[in-house]
Every structure is written in structure tokens, then in C-alpha cells.
Structure 1
Amino acid sequence: MWQALFIVWRESVEALLVIGILYAWINQQTNANQTKKMLWLGTFIGVLFACALAVGFTLAGEWFSGAGGDWFQVGMMIVASFLIFQMVVWMQKNGRGMKKTLEKEANESFAKRGGIGILLLAALAVAREGSEIVIFLYGSFSTTYGSAFWLLVLGSVIGFVLGYITFMLLQLSSHIISWRVFFNISSIILLLLGGALLMSGLDKASGLITEMLSNTDAPEWLYSFFDPVWDTSKFLSDKSGFGSFIASITGYRAEPMLLGVILVPLYWVVAIVWIQLINRPKS
């Protein structure tokens, strides 16, 4: 639930920000009412594209059976974790100039294609954000069933509502908390979720890989990558309560495998170094 809530919350705010920038730009143009209709139509088309992508992923997951379906789910979880990484890096690099970039693209699109240009710009922007949400949620949903599935659905709905409220508050009181602070804080949360999705993918992949290795003459040292390194379940279990919450948003495991202990911290190190390089003052 918490993964879905945070992901939808953050992506909803970003999508609303794009629409808000375009809406404000349209208000400064002539024939604004007609152009606004194209903006809303483009937004609707972008949402439809994201919904179609969700249906496509669902059908693809059903088409695959047995190990093929499991590997598809593993792939989607790992793709989602690296999409989060890419999204955070992109926002750190382009967030400050996002408004100017969008307005420039709107001017160019409107000059070439009129209202159709704004429609395409809105559709592409919303489709991109919506596609990211779909991929993230599929990575989270792929390992849940029954009541847990509906908790994720509930988390997604709450995340969208909170995203709208957050967007309105930032618009009305940006002097209290700036967009930059919001994106910095949410980026940390997203990277935590990215690590959690990566760990979930590794958990699911470990069973598949060990089964494959057992059918071959693989050397024993390969199995050690999937063996628990330590056990902290006496102090904080990841099966229920607070430990389960921490596990869902950080990738914490009471008995982590060696591969996870290596790759998840590496994920964070690469993200931090990359962001530091992006934000380093240019000489």
C-alpha cells in the first residue's frame, strides 16, 4: 500500500505541475478558451494511453505462464526501480528550468500546429507520467493478491488525492515550502522505493535462479549470493507491523541475501554520486 501511495502521490504532483504550467501559459495567449479545450483533450488522451499500457501489461502477465510469467514480473520490478532512478536524476537535472522549457516547447508547438500542438504536448507529458505510474504499480502489484491487492488499489487512490492536495498547497503557499524542497524530499522517498523494488525483484529472482542452478552443475559459490548474510528478525522482523512498513518502503530484510546486500547499496551510491555531479557548480 505504501509503495503505491508514495509513487502515485509523487507522480500525480509532477503531472499536475506540467498541466498547471501549460494552463498558465495558455491564459496568456489569444483564443485561450479554445486552446484550453485542446489541453484537456490532450490530458485525456495521455490518461487513456496510460490505461491502455496497464491493460497491455496485465495481458502480457497472463500470457506468460509458469517461470516465464515470474521472470516477466521480476523484469518489471527491476525496470521500475531503474525508472525511479532515471526520473530522480532527470528532475535534479531539469527541474529548475522545467517551467521555461515547457513554455518554450508550448510556444514552438503552438506556432507550428496551433491547438493541436498543445494537445500533443499535453498528451505526451501526461502519457509519460502515467506510463511511469503504470510500470511502478505493476512492479508492486505483481506480487500481491487478495486483500493485499486491494490495499495497493486503496493506496493508489489515496496517493492521487494527496497529490492533488499537495499540488494545490504548493501553488497557494510556495513561500512556505518551495517546489525545490518538495522535489528533493520526494526524490529521497522515491530512491528508497526504488531500492525496495529492486530488492523485491531480487527476492523473486533468487528462487528462480537457484532452481535453475540446481538443474545444472553450477559451482557451490554461486549459491552463496542467495544465502542470508545475517538475521535481525529478533530486533525487527520484516514480516509484520512496523518492520513490514519499513521493508515496503526501503527494501529492508531481516535476512538479506548477499546479492541484495551488494546491489541495493550500490544503487544508492550510484544515485548519490550522479546527483552530486549534476548539482556540482560549473566552473
Structure 2
Amino acid sequence: MLAPFLIMLREGLEAALITGIIATYLRQTGRSAWMPMVWIGIFLAVAMSLFVGAALQWVSAEFPQKMQELFEACVGFVAVVVLTSMVFWMRKAARSIKAELHDSIDTALESSAAGWALIGMVFFAVAREGLESIFFLLAIFQQSSGPAMPLAALAGVLLSMAAGFAIYFGGLRLNLRRFFRWTGIFILFVAGGLLAGALGSLHEAGLWNGLQTPAYDLTEVLPVSGVLGTILSGILGYQDSPSIGEVIVYLGFLAFTLTWFLQPYTPSTEKTDTGALKSAEGTNA
């Protein structure tokens, strides 16, 4: 339950941060009349994300067993790429996102189709987060059954919406840099578990048969069906009887991504925005 909750909380806060910067800039520059365009962009992005998720779920239900396993593997690989790129993108973009958004707003409102341009900018910003969420949820729901995961994801979304409104209206200050750093580490562990699970799905689909000897067997000591096993599975991608290939993929992924992620980030010579850095450290978006 913790994995979908925290990831949807993070995704929701990223979307809230972006839309909050846009809304605040419109208000501060006396252009609040354009706010309905922002809401239209948000609603269109949410609707498209829900449609894509429902379509993928419907299509996968029509597949025969081996095709379903292959589909689950493909969704898992896409989710790993999306989650990993999200972590590293926010690590870099937090330093300049505010200035870039302000420039984009000015450019959009100076165009001949200002309303459509603003809608498009908000739509693509929110749709990015929405589609990332869809692929992650599809991957994790395929590996876990029951209502707990969807309810945890919904709770994360609702909490992020509440936090977003609180940040916008000045009632909440978060150290966003620390938040994104720790959730980034957590997400990399989740992505590693999804990658190992995707490799297992490839084996079930008959496309990968190497390194299938069990690396260890803890089904009697710490079964994944137990309470602690379920928690570790959701947080760290734990399996009670993984294959050697799954262990290699999991540990190799974590060794590479965590080493890269935890290195001190050195900005390039590109112009950075001190206001965005300040915002990422806890000021209002």
C-alpha cells in the first residue's frame, strides 16, 4: 500500500507544483482572467489519462494468458523507464522550472491563440504526470490484487491535491527538495522491483528462460503473502523465491541508479533560476 500512496502523492505534488507556479504567476501579473484556461487544461489531461488507463486495462483483459504475461512485462518495463526518468528529471528541473514556466506563459499569452496555447501548456504538463501514474499503477496492480492498492493510490492523490491548494494559498510550506530526494530513493527501489517482476513475466510468456534457478527460498521464513512480506514487497520489491536473473537485475539496477542519483548534482553552465531553487526548498510555488 505504501508504494502507490507515496508515488501518487509525489506525482500529484509535481503536478500541483507546476500548476501552482502557473496560477501564481498569472495572479501576480494581473492575468487571473486566464485561470479558466488552466482548469480546462487540467481537466483535459486528467480525462485523457483516465481514458488511456481504461483502454490499456480493457485491451489487456482480451489477451490470452501468454500475451497477458507479455503485456505485463511491457508495461513493467515502461513503468521502470517512466519512474526512473521522472526521478532524475525532477532532480534537474527543480532548479529552473519556475523561470522556464514563466517564460512559457509569457510566450503563450503573446501568441495569436493565447487561450489554446495556455491550455496546451497546462495540458502537457499535467498529462505527463498523469501518464506516468497510469503506467506505474497498471504495473503494480498487475502484481498485486485486492482493493488496498487502488485505495492507497487514491489517498495519495487526494492528499497531494490538498497539499497543492495549501501551498498555493500560503498555508503550507514544504521542503520540496528533501521530499523529492527521499521519495526519489524510494521510487528507485520500487522501480527495481518492477524491473525484476517484468523479467519474471517475460519468463512466464516463454521469451526468457535464462538464469531461472532460484537464488534463495524464504517462503517458509518470510513469505510474500504474510504481513511483513507484503510490506517489504511493496516498499523494496521483495520476493520470497526469486530467480538468479531477477536478483541480478534488481541489484544491478539499484547499484547503478542509486549511485548516480546520490551523487551531488552539479548544474551545467545553463542559466538557473534562484527563485525556483528557493521554491524547491520550501517557499510557496
Same fold (TM over 0.5): yes
Q: Which residue of 1 aligns with 2:258?
A: 272
Give the deviation of 1:87 after TM superposition: 0.7
Give the deviation of 1:194 after TM superposition: 0.9
Q: Which residue of 2 aligns with 1:251?
A: 237
Q: Which residue identity is paired with 1:275?
A: F
Once residues 9 and 258 of structure 2 are traced to their aligned partners in structure 1, the CA distance between those partners, rounded to angstroms, is: 23
Q: Which residue of 2 aligns with 1:217?
A: none
Deviation string for 1:194-246 (max 9, x for gaps)?
11212222233333338x75xxxxxxxx3xx1111123445533221112111
Q: Which residue identity is paired with 1:39?
A: V
Give the deviation of 1:81 after TM superposition: 1.5
RMSD: 2.3
Secondary structure at 2:205 match in 1: helix
**Residues 110 and 116 in structure 1, CA contact (< 8 A), matched pair in contact too:** no
Once residues 139 and 193 of structure 1 are traced to their aligned partners in structure 2, the CA distance between those partners, rounded to angstroms, is: 11
**Residues 46 and 127 in structure 1, CA contact (< 8 A), matched pair in contact too:** yes
**Residues 9 and 162 in structure 1, CA contact (< 8 A), matched pair in contact too:** yes
Q: Which residue of 1 aligns with 2:138?
A: 138
Q: Which residue of 2 aligns with 1:181?
A: 178
1:114 correspondence with 2:111:
no
Secondary structure at 2:206 match in 1: helix
Give the deviation of 1:184 after TM superposition: 0.5
Give the deviation of 1:111 after TM superposition: 1.4
1:262 correspondence with 2:248:
yes
Once residues 40 and 192 of structure 1 are traced to their aligned partners in structure 2, the CA distance between those partners, rounded to angstroms, is: 34
How do 1:1-283 and structure 2 match up within 5 A? Answer: 1-33=1-33, 35-112=34-111, 113-145=113-145, 148=146, 150-167=147-164, 172-174=171-173, 177-209=174-206, 222=210, 225-233=211-219, 235-275=221-261, 279-280=265-266
If the length of structure 2 is used for normalisation, what is the TM-score?
A: 0.85
Give the deviation of 1:45 after TM superposition: 0.8
**Residues 196 and 251 in structure 1, CA contact (< 8 A), matched pair in contact too:** yes
Give the deviation of 1:60 after TM superposition: 2.1
Secondary structure at 1:182 match in 2: helix
Secondary structure at 1:79 match in 2: helix
Once residues 159 and 2 of structure 1 are traced to their aligned partners in structure 2, the CA distance between those partners, rounded to angstroms, is: 9
**Residues 76 and 135 in structure 1, CA contact (< 8 A), matched pair in contact too:** yes
Q: Which residue of 2 aligns with 1:219?
A: none
Q: Which residue of 1 aligns with 2:280?
A: none
Once residues 166 and 236 of structure 1 are traced to their aligned partners in structure 2, the CA distance between those partners, rounded to angstroms, is: 37
Q: Which residue of 2 aligns with 1:216?
A: none
**Residues 238 and 247 in structure 1, CA contact (< 8 A), matched pair in contact too:** yes
If the length of structure 1 is used for normalisation, what is the TM-score?
A: 0.85
Deviation string for 1:128-151 (max 9, x for gaps)?
111111111111122444xx1x22
Q: Which residue identity is paired with 2:44?
A: I
**Residues 43 and 123 in structure 1, CA contact (< 8 A), matched pair in contact too:** yes
Give the deviation of 1:173 after TM superposition: 4.2
**Structure 2 CA distance for partners of 1:55 and 1:254, relative to 1, 3 Å:** closer
Q: Which residue identity is paired with 1:58?
A: Q
Give the deviation of 1:16 after TM superposition: 0.8
**Residues 47 and 126 in structure 1, CA contact (< 8 A), matched pair in contact too:** yes
Give the deviation of 1:106 after TM superposition: 1.3
Once residues 194 and 29 of structure 1 are traced to their aligned partners in structure 2, the CA distance between those partners, rounded to angstroms, is: 41
Secondary structure at 2:95 match in 1: coil
**Residues 74 and 201 in structure 1, CA contact (< 8 A), matched pair in contact too:** yes
**Residues 22 and 103 in structure 1, CA contact (< 8 A), matched pair in contact too:** yes
Once residues 38 and 47 of structure 1 are traced to their aligned partners in structure 2, the CA distance between those partners, rounded to angstroms, is: 14
Once residues 194 and 257 of structure 1 are traced to their aligned partners in structure 2, the CA distance between those partners, rounded to angstroms, is: 17
**Residues 46 and 124 in structure 1, CA contact (< 8 A), matched pair in contact too:** yes
Once residues 29 and 131 of structure 1 are traced to their aligned partners in structure 2, the CA distance between those partners, rounded to angstroms, is: 31
Which runs of 5 or more structure 1 residues have no equivalent in the other structure? 214-221
Give the deviation of 1:281 after TM superposition: 6.2
**Residues 163 and 172 in structure 2, CA contact (< 8 A), matched pair in contact too:** no
**Structure 2 CA distance for partners of 1:268 and 1:277, relative to 1, 3 Å:** same
Identity %: 23
